[in-house]
Amino acid sequence: MNAPRLDADARGVYLITVTPFTDGGALDLASTDRMVDFCLEQGVTGLTVLGIMGEAPKLTAEEARTFVRQVLARAGGRVPVVVGVSSPGFAQMRELADSVMALGASGVMVAPPATVRTDDQITAYFQMVSETLGPEVPWALQDHPVATGVQMTAGVIVRILRDNPSCVMLKHEDCPGLAKLSAIRAASERGEVRRVSVLCGNGGGLFLPEELSRGADGAMTGFAYPEMMVGVCRAHAAGDIERAHDLFDAYLPLARYEQQPGIGLAVRKHLLAQRGVIASSFARRPTPKLSAADVADIERLVARQTRRLVELG
């Protein structure tokens, strides 16, 4: 069953999923099913697969298709599924996008390559993206300078939105990004550009309460406790800003630890395995392994988080 089509009204939490492997390193489709169920039970409103934290570049083309097919089948059309299709070349991007849209994906997500630098190079790149994908494929613009090295101003993002009607979402994860987020929303309010969905991923949601206050529609990021983002978004939508912060603060020490560059994926998979979501914490190379000291840190942080959540009620 096809997932709902991605559009500019998307809101809530689009969780960036991991890709589960067995201890031997093969795709683990049973864990994939369990992970999809877990996310939906926690209240996510969408799923994003084949992102960087989904180890997309470590999969073969066939594995990528198999994994997407499994996620789509298990999600069963209940939430949109967005697929990362960033590629070194347009032929590969078209091939992957055509393939996942044919499988029933809701839309795709594209980050710019490190080679584009100037405003003109960036906007020209995304026009080629639109032409490559065709007018029927809705796509999310990923603004993630820490990973890509590409810095887009609010003005450039507005130009991209104007030039490309099929771009319906901004995955915003610049840091500092609060001012940029305010500027993009202000441009829409002044009628300069249509309003798109803005989901935030700033450092794994490390600024989520503030981003919601600036006009973000939710989060698109990964965290072993997606219920945090779901809870923060719901409290915020209900107007209970202090409750949103309370929840956020309770998870922040662990979220901060899971957001460490490099080792973060190992932390996330360790936690998901511990929660019973995936069978193995295996990540494909090159990924650092957790030391005993890392595991001790995590255990302390989880215990403290659990106590804090009890206190909060």
SS3 sequence of 203-237: CCCCCHHHHHHCCCCEEEECCCCHHHHHHHHHHHH
In this complex, which beta carbon is closest to a second copy, that of residue 177 or of residue 226? 177
- What is the spatial distance between Cα 166 and Cα 137, in angstroms, rounded to a whole number? 7
Write down the least CB distance from residue 77 to a second copy, Å. Answer: 29
Q: Binder to a second copy among 176, 191, 239, 313 (CB under 8 A)?
A: 176
Q: Binder to a second copy among 2, 5, 37, 153 (CB under 8 A)?
A: 153
Helices (H), the chain: 29-42, 61-75, 90-103, 119-133, 145-148, 154-163, 178-189, 208-213, 226-237, 241-258, 264-274, 292-312
Q: DSSP string spanning 234-270? A: HHHHTT-HHHHHHHHHHHHHHHHHHT-TTTHHHHHHH
Could you give the string, one character per residue 123-142, with x where binding to a second copy holds by CB under 8 A and - elsewhere? -xx--x--------------
Write down the least CB distance from residue 226 to a second copy, Å. Answer: 20
Please report, as residue ranges, which positions from 47 to 66 form the binding site for a second copy (by CB under 8 A): 55, 57-61, 63
Please report, as residue ranges, which positions from 66 to 105 form the binding site for a second copy (by CB under 8 A): 87-92, 95
In this complex, which beta carbon is closest to a second copy, that of residue 75 or of residue 109? 109
Answer yes or no: are the C-beta atoms of 260 and 283 closer than 8 Å: no
Give the binding-site size for a second copy (rule: CB under 8 A).
63
Q: Does 38 bind a second copy (CB under 8 A)?
A: no
Q: Binder to a second copy among 191, 261, 310, 313 (CB under 8 A)?
A: 261
Write down the least CB distance from residue 104 to a second copy, Å. Answer: 22
Of 14, 117, 116, nearest to 75 by C-alpha is 14
Q: Does 119 bind a second copy (CB under 8 A)?
A: yes
Answer yes or no: are the C-beta atoms of 216 and 181 closer than 8 Å: yes
For 89-104, letters b (16+ CB in 10 Å) and e give eeeebbebbebbbebb
- Spatial neighbors of 307 by CB under 8 A, at least 6 apart, are none
Q: Does 194 bind a second copy (CB under 8 A)?
A: no
Q: Which residues bind a second copy (CB under 8 A)?
A: 55, 57-61, 63, 87-92, 95, 114, 117-121, 124-125, 128, 151-153, 155-156, 175-176, 178-179, 182, 206-207, 210, 213-214, 241-242, 245, 248-249, 252-253, 256-257, 260-264, 284-286, 288, 291, 293-294, 297, 300, 304, 308
